[in-house]
Amino acid sequence: MSTETADEITSRPSERATVERMYRYVFFACASVSIAVTLGIVGLLGWNAVEFFTLPEVNPVGFFTGTEFLLSRDQFGVLPLLTGTLLVTIISAMIALPIGTAAAVYLSEYASDRARSVLKPALEILAGIPTVVYGIFALVYVTPFLRTFGFPLNTFNVLSASVMVGIMIIPMVSSLSEDAMSAVPDSLRQAAYGMGATKFEVSTGVVIPAAISGIFSSYILALSRAIGETMIVAVAMGSRSRMFDFANPLQNLWEGNQPMTAAMVQINSADNVSGPGFLSMFAIGMTLFVVTFLMNLASNRIAARYREEYE
Amino acid sequence: MAAETPSWAQQAGQVSRLRGRAFEAICLASTSLALVSVMVLLLFVANDAFRPFEAEPALTFAIPVLPGLELFVVPVVLPAYLLVFGATLGLPVALTALYYYRRDDPAGEVAYATLGLPIVSLLVSAGVLVMFIEVLTVSELFATELALLVAVGAIYGHARLRPRKAVERLAIIIVAPVVALAGLPPAMFNDIVNGIAGLAGVGPVLTTRLFSVRELVLASPFLPVRWVMLLATVTLPVVAIFAPILARRRESREAGLALGGLSMIVAALGLVAAPALGVGSDVWIVVASVTVPPLAVYVEGVVRRREGMAGLAFPLVLIGGALAGWLLVQQVGFGMPDPWLDWGFLTNAHSRFSAEKTGIYPPLVGSVMMLFAIVILIFPVGVGAAIYLEEYAPSQGLAGKFVTLIEINIGNLAGVPSVVYGLLGLALFIRFLSMPVGAIIVGALAVGLLILPIVIISAQEAIRAVPDSHREASYGMGATRWQTIRDVVLPQAFPGILTGTILALGRAIGETAPLLMIGMPAIVRRAPDGFFATGSAMPRQIFRWSKEFDPLYRHGVLAAGVVTLLVVLLIMNGTAIILRNKFQREETA
């Protein structure tokens, strides 16, 4: 080893430098793979989506305004899928946002160090459970459980799937919000205590407003996760798309439905490999990608832009 | 923040305790709600998979939840065998755990690790065995390893003989493995060229080629007997990893050699002992080779530090209790339950006729092979990207802008839905590059691209945690940037990178949507025999079973599949956590 080092010190630099440059290029290529992936998604999905819209039996306006999605009759209205996605997202958000925020407040403000060291990893384990397992929980255990409360649920229904999606995204809300709350400097809390505030008032009046940008960005990320969630809805919500029924809003929860992601899975398992139905999958996928990508960007922007800066 | 006067500033003296207490209670309840509900669901699914309460004879009684009220009476069934095991296994384990917890000793962690290490090693050896049975033969593995050895020897020899010729060495690093493993040119290349020539109406163009070391070994008539090859291919590499660790720690070559000798002897003992126990000697050799060396190194460390030695007793309590309980139950003749998740489930394929005979073996093999492929394909790229972003990336100018773009892009890619990656895999690998539909390699690529951002981000964090002073010391001694990365940064960041990668692989093993999109078949009768063969994976199979309405599937097969998947995942995450704790302890020490 020692002789080798001596050799390297006295060697001519030019050859070493060539190798150094080569390593730099190799690593740069590795880093560029991520850009290639994004370009690949945009390019390939976009190309196939354009192919779909230029098919004679497809009407681009009808795609975005049609209220029926039926592969067998070449009906490609995306609205029922969109309302299905919205329904799942809204119900899961109603569960995950309050619970996740409250959990974050508890972890950051109330929990002892020991409790935090147990609860935080435990919540992260929830995020690690495969989503297909959550789907099976919804289908096999949650639906019969909810029926005992008298909800008239079908075997495949929106409610239990959405509840499971909500539980799945709780860790995302709680851990990112907790990070934001923990980043609030202690001096602010001390100042409020000094003015006679109680712990409740410090939590709700000082910490949450100071961490609000982080909390919001966690909300957006969680919502984008709920929009993109595939397996829970594919397992537990059935495979019939339904337009939202405004006359009977609760009925929508008892019945099955099909959001965008589940529709893609179903189209893929059908056998026509180049028909308009198959290509419509790419149009839906592109829509999904654009929506979630924009939401992630917005989340980053909000976190960066509206962050209260403390030294 | 707004400048209005806060509400509490005016009303001093009217402090209400109730509101604060209620708020804290709500927050605590929310935290527990998610945890408890999922925990209960996990218990339900475990109950369905193992059916622990369905065995005769059993004690049955009813517990009134509210005394005096006949409405809420919970019927309890307590099989006799459970009571026996509770006495021989449950109670001692609980008492030992309580002892560790109360004394707040490092013993608890030691117990966790001595139990976890063999389990992880067993899982690894199961993976190795599966690869043997389904993909490679022992002689192929032997030839491959010999070839790799020759390649490494060539590189090392060049570094010794001509230390200054860096460019030459780079060329050798690239060429030597190709020559050793595939020959020059690789057989596949010749086949493709000749195939094209055949289509064009010309005879075979390339007829001569330099044979690879691998091919030469395989063709040689002097291949050693099977068990010698097994010892050489499985035991020796493991020993080569762990013996130097021990030798360095004890600062004696003898200790390392002793460990090596011990492992070889235990492994070779399988030739005699395994048939007596009714196991194949191959199984013994593989299991012993991957279990003994790491366990020996760990136990040696515990004994040397004299910290938490009581923890070493935990596996003995566990194994002894289980054995005693089993013997007792056999003697008395109590019935045992018939779990869905049993050996038959793990080793059978899906059966069209009977839920009882259905199994998860082919998808299990598919999942293992996919993990293998993901590690080989994605790990180098992810770590390379992290190295570039942390060590090389310029922060100014046009290039700096590009790097910022890459960073933002990686963050966003981590949030793209998995089903979109499936579409990418379908469009890119199957429709554009026309790779086989539903092949293991396509699934690995799609899921691998999905976890790539996670691998990059965690590797970046691990590299960032290496203090700058170490880099500067290395530069100060005249090392170049790559030498610094290779000899200073990567060795220190490696445990962190490993932890992050295992966690990402845990994500990969449960991903289903991409597999559906690239057309993995719902039912596979035989395990895939290569990376380009069509295969299934555990979550794909579970999704298929979720379509069965039969309660035998709903509350039986499905539950068993879910528990299998979760156990594999739990072990992977547990390994990552042990590694992280060990790493953090060494950091602070």
- Average pLDDT of the residues in B324-343: 84
Taking the CA atoms of residue B150, residue B154, residue B159 and residue B161 in that order, the dihedral angle to the nearest 10 degrees is: 120
Predicted local distance difference test score (pLDDT) of residue B66: 66
Shortest CA distance from B427: residue in chain A: A44
If contacts are CB pairs under 8 Å, which of residues 44-103 in chain B contact chain A? 44-45
pLDDT tens-place string over residues B110-134: 887 888 888 888 887 777 777 777 7
Q: In this structure, which amino acid lies at residue A7?
A: D
Q: How far apart are the first and last CA of chain B?
A: 43
Contact (Cβ atoms closer than 8 angstroms) between residue B300 and residue B246: yes
Positions of CATH 1.10.3720.10 in chain B? 361-588
Q: Which residues contact A272 (CB under 8 A, 6 or more apart)?
A: A278
Asked if the C-beta of B450 comes within 8 angstroms of chain A's C-beta atoms, the answer is: no
- In chain A, the N- to C-terminal Cα span, in Å, equals 46
Query: Angle, to 10 degrees, between the axis of helix B17-50 and the axis of helix B558-588?
Result: 120
Question: How many angstroms separate the CA of residue A257 from the nearest CA in chain B?
Answer: 16
Determine contact, residues B325/B89, Cβ cutoff 8 Å: yes
| Cβ <8 Å between A300 and B513 | no
Q: How far is B543 from chain A (nearest CA, A)?
A: 7
Using CA atoms, how far apart are residues A277 and A264, in angstroms rounded to an integer? Answer: 10
pLDDT of residue B2: 47
The residue behind tokens 């205590």 is: A193
Residue A30: both structure tokens together: 């590795």
**B390/B407 Cα distance (integer angstroms):** 11
Instruction: Say whether A40 and B415 touch across the interface (CB within 8 A).
Output: no
The CA angle B332-B336-B337, to the nearest 5 degrees, is: 165
Is residue B38 within 8 angstroms of chain A, CB to CB? yes
The answer to whether B295 touches B114, Cβ cutoff 8 Å, is: yes
Spell out which residues of chain A touch residue B572, defining contact as CB-CB under 8 Å. none
CB contact under 8 A, A31 and B406: yes
pLDDT value at position B248?
84
β strands within B315-438, DSSP E: none
Asked if B108 reaches chain A (Cβ–Cβ under 8 Å), the answer is no
Mean pLDDT score of chain B: 84
Q: At what angle do helices B538-545 and B558-588 cross, to 10 degrees?
A: 150
On chain B, the residues whose CB falls within 8 A of the CB of A121 are 577
* Closest to B553 (Cα-Cα) out of B360, B343, B347: B360
Q: What is the ipTM of this complex?
A: 0.89
Please, are residues B540 and B516 in contact by the beta-carbon 8 Å criterion?
yes
What are residue B78's DSSP bridge partners? B59
| CB A107 within 8 Å of CB A120 | yes
Chain B interface test: which of A1, A9, A34, A258 (most B C-beta within 10 Å): A34
| Cβ neighbours of A217 in B, within 8 Å | none
A 237-266 residues inside an 8 A Cβ radius of B: 261, 264-265
Residue B587 has pLDDT above 70, yes or no: no
Question: What are the residue ranges in chain A where pLDDT is below 50?
Answer: 1-3
pLDDT tens for residues B556-582? 899 999 999 999 898 888 778 777 777
Closest to B164 (Cβ–Cβ): which among A7, A32, A195? A7
Would you say residue B452 has pLDDT above 70?
A: yes
CATH number of B361-588: 1.10.3720.10
Nearest CA in chain A to B13: A196
Task: For residue B436, give the DSSP letter.
Answer: P
Chain B residues in contact with A205 (beta carbon < 8 A):
6-8
pLDDT exceeds 70 at position B510: yes
Q: Read off the pLDDT of residues B150-208 as tens digits, 9 standing for 90 and up.
A: 889 988 898 888 877 777 888 888 888 888 887 777 777 777 777 778 777 776 666 67
In the DSSP assignment, the letter for residue B235 is: I
What does the longest C-alpha to C-alpha distance in chain B come to? 101
C-beta neighbour count of A268 within 10 angstroms: 21
Q: Which positions ≥6 away from B392 have C-beta within 8 Å?
A: A24, A27, A28, B481
- Angle at which helix A212-228 crosses helix A158-182, to 10 degrees, equals 150
Element (H, E) at B127: helix B107-134
Task: Answer for the pair A207, A182: CB distance below 8 angstroms, yes or no.
Answer: no
Contact: B569, A128; criterion CB under 8 Å: yes
- What's the rounded Cα separation, in Å, for the pair A239 and A262? 7
- How many CB atoms sit inside 10 A of residue A135's CB? 28
Measured distance CA(B390)–CA(B485) in Å, rounded: 11
Cα separation of A91 and A169, whole Å? 12
Contact A258, A266 (CB under 8 A): yes
Report yes or no: A119 at the B interface, CB cutoff 8 Å: yes
Contact B510 A130 (CB under 8 A): yes
Burial class (CB in 10 A: 0-12, 13-18, 19+), B45: buried
CB contact under 8 A, B419 and A285: yes
| Contact (Cβ atoms closer than 8 angstroms) between residue B567 and residue B42 | no
Predicted pLDDT at B11: 54
B420·A288 Cβ contact <8 A: yes
**Interval B15-29: pLDDT, tens:** 678 888 899 999 999
Least confident of A205-214, A264-273, B214-223, B288-297: A264-273
DSSP for residue A71:
G
Specify the DSSP class assigned to residue B75. Answer: E
State whether B543 and A292 contact (CB < 8 Å). Answer: no
Query: Which pLDDT score, from 0 to 100, does residue A155 have?
Result: 87
Alpha-carbon distance A243 to nearest alpha carbon in chain B (angstroms) = 23
CB B86 within 8 A of CB B53: no
Residue B220, CA distances (Å) to A39, A183, B142, B213, B528 in order: 49, 66, 12, 10, 28
CB A196 within 8 A of CB B12: yes
DSSP secondary structure letter of residue B210: B
The amino acid that residue A244 corresponds to is: F
Give the other-Cβ count within 10 Å of B47's Cβ.
14
Angle at which helices B253-277 and B236-250 cross, to 10°: 140
Q: What are the CA-CA distances from residue B140 to residues A224, B71, B215, B535 (Å)?
A: 47, 68, 9, 22
Q: Average pLDDT of B436-456?
A: 92
Distance CA B440, CA B214 (A): 24
Q: Which of B387, B480, B565 sits opposite A27 (nearest CB)?
A: B387
Report CB contact under 8 Å: B482, A198: no
The answer to whether B516 contacts chain A (CB < 8 Å) is yes
Residue B117, min C-alpha distance to chain A (Å): 21
